Amino acid sequence: MSHVLVTGGAGFVGCNLVASLLGDGHTVTVLDSLVRPGTDRNLDWLRSLARPGMLDLVYGDVRDANTVAAAASHATAIYHLAAQVAVTTSVTRPREDFEVNALGTINVLEAARRSRHEPVVVFTSTNKVYGECTGIPVEETRTRHAYRDRPHGVDESQPLDFHSPYGCSKGAADQYVRDHARIYGLPTVVFRMSCIYGPRQLGNEDQGWLAHFLIAAAQGRPITIFGDGKQVRDVLFVDDLVRALRLAVDEIDVTAGQVYNIGGGPANTLAVWSDLGPMIAELRGSAVPVGWGAWRPGDQKVYVSDIRKAARDLGWAPAVDAELGVRRLWDWVQANMDLFVAHGPTGGRAR
């Protein structure tokens, strides 16, 4: 079994990935600054799953090159998930956003390049590198916005158009990861991800909108919808993402140097409120009070991932459909209300 480094391994996606790796007998190092609410609880959960000697926590920041190099020293694979993830934070603190996302990624890449183990590096990028996807015709129906002529969604040939400091920092990191494969021969893979959701996600108004809506509904708090609520996103249950992340390493002979759009695809789309609102009302047994806010800068009316390249190269497809996934997340929220009381109200932005 291999030794794996997961940066941001105590976060939502990270802890689900670490749990999967531990379950298959891998030794895992988690590098995390533990600054996000809930990461301490996620770490406690991981400790409860790990056999002695199989889980190591490095408390530190990806902005510190020496810390990253030490954490990566024995790794044969690195999943780089640590990031500043909120568009709003990037607007108010652009330097911090750049240092975490761009400089932090350079530190991971350079640690991998100098390692004698030649580790695979998988980087979680974002669909925000495509900006507002200007040039793709969108039409409006009674309940949703939709692509006029993209039945499969947005593929990897879509021109990059970084929008917001967050888009710029993640986009710069995305391109550095690609270029380290071209220039240095480092086996890297980029996942440009759409909306990921599932258990252990403490969503808030800036990030993790689907979980935020469910948590707020379970707590009986009102929800603010920015825009018209007909924005469409493809949503992917976290277990399906974890499976894709692991396949990217298993199939590195095919995936090295490649970029993949990863999401639920056309079969798993939700209109932010015109679809999700009725689903929540059915789960909750009553409607949720909502308020309405203006459109936010850079908010895409539609984003749907074309996942055919991942299907071809990884033999992968989402297994959990949106309706089942939302129900599973609702059940988890209901069973873990103490998590949200402990960390206060979560604050929805469609991302």
Secondary structure string (H, E, C) spanning 180-243? HHHHHCCCEEEEEECEEECCCCCCCCCCCHHHHHHHHHHHCCCEEEECCCCCEEEEEEHHHHHH
Which pLDDT tens digits describe the chain residue by residue (351 residues)? 699 999 999 999 999 999 999 999 999 999 999 998 889 999 999 999 999 999 999 999 999 999 999 999 999 999 999 999 888 889 999 999 999 999 999 999 999 999 999 999 999 999 999 988 888 999 999 999 999 999 999 999 999 999 889 999 999 999 999 999 999 999 999 999 999 999 999 888 777 899 999 999 999 999 999 999 999 999 999 999 999 999 999 999 999 999 999 999 999 999 999 999 999 999 999 988 899 998 887 678 999 999 999 999 999 999 999 999 999 999 999 999 988 875 444 433 333
Given this model, what pLDDT does residue 88 score? 82
* pTM for the predicted model, two decimal places: 0.94
Nearest to 302 by CA among 118, 96, 174, 158: 158
Please name the residues in contact with 16: beta carbons below 8 A apart, sequence gap of 6 or more: 198, 199, 200, 238, 239, 241, 242
Six token digits for residue 101: 């996302």
Q: What is the CATH number of domain 3-342?
A: 3.40.50.720
- Contact (Cβ atoms closer than 8 angstroms) between residue 275 and residue 229: no
The residues spanned by each domain of the chain are 3-342
148: DSSP letter? S
Catalytic pick from 79, 130, 147, 166?
166
- How large is the angle between the packed helices 209-219 and 322-335, nearest 10 degrees? 50
Q: Residue 201, class by beta-carbon neighbours within 10 Å (0-12 exposed, 13-18 middle, 19+ buried)?
A: buried
**Per-residue pLDDT at 1:** 67
Cβ atoms within 10 Å, residue 265: 23
Contacts 24+ apart (CB under 8 A), 144-147: 144/230, 144/232, 144/271, 144/274, 144/275, 145/230, 145/231, 145/232, 145/271, 145/301, 145/302, 146/232, 146/302, 147/302, 147/304
pLDDT of residue 77: 98
166 is catalytic: yes
Q: Residue 45 corresponds to which tokens in the numbers above?
A: 């959960």
